[in-house]
Amino acid sequence: MDFPSFYMDHLAGGRLIIGLIASLHVLINHPLAVGAYPLLTWMEWWAHKNNRPDIDQLAYRITFIVFIVTTTVGAMTGVGIWLSTSLFAPFAIGSLLRVFFWGWFLEWFVFIAEVVLICWWFLSWKKADTPEKKKKHIKIGVALSIMSWLTMALIVAVLGFMMKPGEWNQTRAFLDAMTNPLYAPQLGFRTFFALMTAAVFIWFSAFFFTKTTSVGDDRPRRLRRWIVYRMSHVVLVSLVGVLLFGTWYWNNIPETMKANSSVALLTQDFMSWHGQFQSLLGWTVIAFVIIGLGGLSDLFTMPRWALLIPSFMGIWLLGHFERAREFMRKPWVIGEYMYSNGIHKDELAFLQSEGLLKHATYVKHREVTDANKVECGKDVFMLACSRCHSTTGLNSVLDKFTAMYGGDKPWDPTGMTLFIKGMHQTRTYMPPFPGNEKEAEALVAYILQLREKPETLHGAQTEGIVIAPPIKQSNLAATAER
């Protein structure tokens, strides 16, 4: 990666921050935007058709929550994914922007439409006081629902592409990336998941707006009954979709792993995950089924807290889903094109032969000597490892070697060097070491010093940058001739 390295040591480079921002964004986007807009529009339409101002009022109040949350935290976490990725993986986002320019450009226009429509829809709600105006107002809601689904449909293409670029590696064409093999199942899964969780969200928030205010007035209770009955239908129907698309998606993953991985093999970590996900999916489905069926019943009212159970399980499931998506991408950040540390597939052998430091810009030295070994190792760590590992914090290299060589014994530098050079064979989710022999030794020297004297590694945002003198012209000519 030929950019100054932004790095937060204790957070495994800062990847965790992208993860947190992205998860928060998805958790707002799916239930509160993609899923909620169509359901709320439907409520507005139903209220208009059956002359039920109480239902209209309820839809308006829930839309207020949706409006506030989506136009603040929702919008900013969306931008935040981009801003944080620009810091942690500029090589990846920079490449994706060049490949997916039209997709993103289109996404931008759809996104503008979505923002304009949500402002228009919510802020003009109370002004639609005649049947004609109301009809027009409902149409704004319909347009909004379509636009918000479209933003998701476009961005899912990018996500799917990063996992399995399909034909793109040969053709570098935008449409090929868009029709990658995981696209349809992922989009279907997310759509139904959004509707299902939105129904639970509307159901849950309806409790706050349907409190009984005076004894004998059972209108709030009947309104609550109305919404619960309908939302439980939505939960049950969407659940079928979630299950179908989830299974389709999940069955595609092992094959994708095989296709993406240079070795036809699933790692142990992944196998155990696969099992975990299946049982989690099972329990989540059961939780939603119980809620859905309970909502249909006239005999009792589902207590409010009960809705939190499937909600939290849904969050957990979605988290797992996103984590698996990230995991199966490894060792690539763009499948078969760029490794997770920003090294291109076609430059790997070159760098292994020439050395990583020689062609880097933001390093202290270009050649490893006995005197600068540890300093070189630090730069190698920053270039080759720091996008996933920390020195002493989360997912730290020290922990990894402690697990292998033990915490109480001395570590053998020769064995460690051997391991680093061959680790992509035993840890197939890790990219191959992209430097020469001396740089592998320098990295080991740095890790061993870290073990002796654990020290936080600072990124460019606090330490600034160091630039080694450029390679001498004569050396370069020699390289070109060779």
Partner 1 sequence: MNLLAATPIPRDLPLPLPVPEWLLVVCLVVFFLVHILFVNLMVGGSLIVVALEWMGLKNKRWDALAHEVAQTITVNKSLAVVMGIGPLLCINLLYTMQWYSANALTGHAWLMIVPLVTVAFLLTYLHKYTWDMWTSGGKKTLHQLTGLGAALLFLFIPLIFLANVNLMLFPNEWEKVKGFFSSLSIGNVLPRYLHFMAASVAMTGLFLAGWFGRRSADLSHLDGFTRPELRRLFYKVCAYVTLAQFVLGPLLLFTLPAAGITNELYVIIFSGAAVGLLTVWVLFGELKRDDSRIGSRYWLIVALFSIVVLGMGSGRHVYRQAALAPHQAEIKERTERYAAALAEFNKNLAAAPAPTEQTAEQLFMNCAACHAPKVKLVGPSLTEIAQIYAGNPDGIVAWAKAPGKKRPELPQMPPFAHLGDASLRKIAELMLEKGQAAK
- Binding test (CB under 8 A) with partner 1, winner from 124, 171, 278, 426: 426
Please say which residue, 116 or 259, places its beta carbon nearer to partner 1: 116
Per CB under 8 A, contacts with partner 1 among 89-118 are 90-91, 93-95, 97-99, 101-102, 104-105, 108, 111-112, 115-116, 118
Per CB under 8 A, contacts with partner 1 among 20-79 are 21, 68, 71-73, 75-77, 79
472 and 370 in contact (C-beta within 8 Å)?
no
Q: Which amino acid, one-letter code, is at 184?
A: A
* From 198-206, 295-303, 357-365, 369-377, span contacting partner 1 (CB under 8 A): 357-365
Q: What is the DSSP string of 332-376?
A: EEETTTEETTS-BGGGHHHHHHH-TGGG-SS-S-SS--TTTHHHH
Please say which residue, 421 or 438, places its beta carbon nearer to partner 1: 421
Q: Considering the complex, what minimum distance in angstroms separates the CB of residue 439 from partner 1? A: 17
Q: Considering the complex, what minimum distance in angstroms separates the CB of residue 58 from partner 1? A: 19
Tokens read off for 143: 């347009």
Q: What is the DSSP letter of 467?
A: -
What angle separates helix 183-209 from helix 304-329, to the nearest 10 degrees? Answer: 160
Closest CA to 13 of 465, 460, 464: 460
Closest CA to 75 of 140, 28, 123, 124: 28
- Binding test (CB under 8 A) with partner 1, winner from 82, 208, 312, 316: 82
Residue carrying the six token digits 């007035």: 217
Largest CA distance in the chain: 94
Should residue 469 be labelled a site residue for partner 1 when binding is judged by CB under 8 A?
yes
Per CB under 8 A, contacts with partner 1 among 258-287 are 263-265, 267-268
| 3-state class (DSSP) for residue 303 | coil
Per CB under 8 A, contacts with partner 1 among 123-152 are 123
* From 53-61, 162-170, 346-354, 391-399, span contacting partner 1 (CB under 8 A): 346-354
263 and 425 in contact (C-beta within 8 Å)?
yes
Q: Considering the complex, what minimum distance in angstroms separates the CB of residue 40 from partner 1? A: 18
Per CB under 8 A, contacts with partner 1 among 358-387 are 359, 361-362
Rounded (10°) CA dihedral 376, 379, 381, 382: 180
Q: Considering the complex, what minimum distance in angstroms separates the CB of residue 69 from partner 1? A: 9
| 3-state class (DSSP) for residue 165 | coil
Q: Considering the complex, what minimum distance in angstroms separates the CB of residue 344 from partner 1? A: 7
